[in-house]
Amino acid sequence: MQEALAMCNRPGLLSFGLGLPATEHFPADEFARACAETLRVNARALQYQKPLEELKSQIVSIMALRGVACGARNVFITSGAQQALHLLVALLCDHRRQIITEDLSYPGFHQIVGFYQPEVLTVSSDLKTGMNVDEVERHLNRGIRPAFIYTVPDGHNPLGASLSEEKRERLFQLTQQYGVPLIEEDPYGLLYYSEYPSRPIRSYTDEYVFYVGSFSKILAPSIRVGWIIAPEPAMPLLSILKESYDIDTATYSQHVVSCMLGSGFLTEHLRRLRSEYSRRREAMLSSLSDYFPADTEWYRPQCGVYVWARLRHGLDTSSLLKTAISEHNVAFIPGAVFSISRTSAEKGSMRLNFSYPSVANIKEGMQRLGACVSSAST
């Protein structure tokens, strides 16, 4: 990711690569106010402290927006969703034990898994309905008892898919029936574009489900605050692990986030983000129609910040990326990057982010990228 960030500094480059939030929509004034207020009222905000109970309660309210009932006793504050994932893998995963994940999945998760080296059992995914739960069931039926199952049910990274209600219900049943932990990562769940957003699987049960949330996409990534909603018995072990990782999530950042949330601005801020990102999504989808070859396949995401586009059979997006950058000054992430098994059939796909670029840049960049794809297709 650091390399990708460096690449984005190329003059004039339009990037659909990383899943960055829109810089111009960060609540910078709210941040500034919260920073000043925090230091004005509380010099202890600079000291070592216990995780903030008030922030935990506020996270409980955010979870209610997602249809999840939980208590502050279930909230574990982390230095962003990435650390939450790392802690959960460390908590649940013994060396060489099996895990089940979609083959197409978040590369930050691959990095963690690469360190613990479990046996990775993959399942496929559908662009519209998400994870293939039949394949999960087949693994479990043949006696596999994985350390955990991992998925991003809403605004899937990289596919943009949302797990269907029927599959959520079945995945929930499977975790309970076989007593298998589920890591449900949900950084995009509050960025939905349909009238009736899905509820996370954590809303079905508080057993076996480890939910991961984050302020990175809804406030700002640079503050690094996220959370786990975990079954209560897991809390003491998570605390010990977390203390060994970095003692605690920056107390100062916890205060600032809590102070921001206390002003009640989040509801309106989320409404604005959804409205803006929805416009950007439309710009990207219409650009795919307008500028890409007619045989390109994609699905309209209901949530999140990504569109997955499949190009004509035979095109390799990894080599296409070089031409896209050097000749058209536009970037994306090739589909193969997201295959944890490195054997994906998605070599002709690309992940396109629509939250970072403006509508104008989306149109301009997609026109460039469309030209690049078209000339490679002929």
- Residues at the interface with its own copies (CB under 8 A): 1-2, 5-6, 18, 20-21, 23-24, 26, 28, 31-32, 35-36, 39-40, 43-51, 79-80, 82-83, 86, 90, 95, 108, 111-112, 114-115, 220-224, 239-241, 243-253, 255
Cβ-Cβ contacts under 8 Å for 69 (sequence gap 6 or more): 63, 203
Least separation in angstroms between CB 213 and its own copies: 15
User: 124 vs 222, which CB is nearer to its own copies?
Assistant: 222
Pairing of strands 119-123, 349-353: unpaired
Pairing of strands 333-334, 349-353: antiparallel
Closest CA to 229 of 181, 180, 296, 283: 181
User: 68 vs 228, which CB is nearer to its own copies?
Assistant: 228
User: 216 vs 317, which CB is nearer to its own copies?
Assistant: 216
Least separation in angstroms between CB 242 and its own copies: 9
Least separation in angstroms between CB 13 and its own copies: 15
Cβ-Cβ contacts under 8 Å for 99 (sequence gap 6 or more): 93, 113, 118, 119, 120, 121, 146, 147, 148, 149, 150
User: 59 vs 220, which CB is nearer to its own copies?
Assistant: 220
Closest CA to 371 of 304, 320, 313: 320
Least separation in angstroms between CB 267 and its own copies: 20
User: 292 vs 356, which CB is nearer to its own copies?
Assistant: 356
Least separation in angstroms between CB 137 and its own copies: 30
Least separation in angstroms between CB 114 and its own copies: 8
DSSP state of 369: H
Q: Measured between alpha carbons, how far is 297 from 284 in angstroms, rounded to an integer?
A: 13
Alpha helices in 117-232 (DSSP H): 133-141, 165-178
Beta strands in 198-315 (DSSP E): 209-214, 226-229, 297-298, 306-310
Q: Measured between alpha carbons, how far is 81 from 223 in angstroms, rounded to an integer?
A: 12
Torsion region of 191: left, alpha or beta (phi above 0 gives left; psi -120 to 50 gives alpha): beta
User: 17 vs 197, which CB is nearer to its own copies?
Assistant: 17
User: 115 vs 272, which CB is nearer to its own copies?
Assistant: 115
User: 46 vs 360, which CB is nearer to its own copies?
Assistant: 46
Least separation in angstroms between CB 152 and its own copies: 16
Least separation in angstroms between CB 32 and its own copies: 4
Peptide bond into 158 cis (omega under 30): yes
State the CB neighbour count (10 A cutoff) for residue 158: 28
In what helix (H) or strand (E) does residue 353 lie, and over which residues does it extend?
strand 349-353
User: 43 vs 294, which CB is nearer to its own copies?
Assistant: 43
Structure token digits, residue 146: 């994985």
User: 32 vs 64, which CB is nearer to its own copies?
Assistant: 32
Least separation in angstroms between CB 59 and its own copies: 18
Cβ-Cβ contacts under 8 Å for 229 (sequence gap 6 or more): 63, 68, 70, 74, 75, 76, 202, 209, 210, 211, 213
Least separation in angstroms between CB 78 and its own copies: 8
Closest CA to 350 of 159, 130, 122, 123: 159
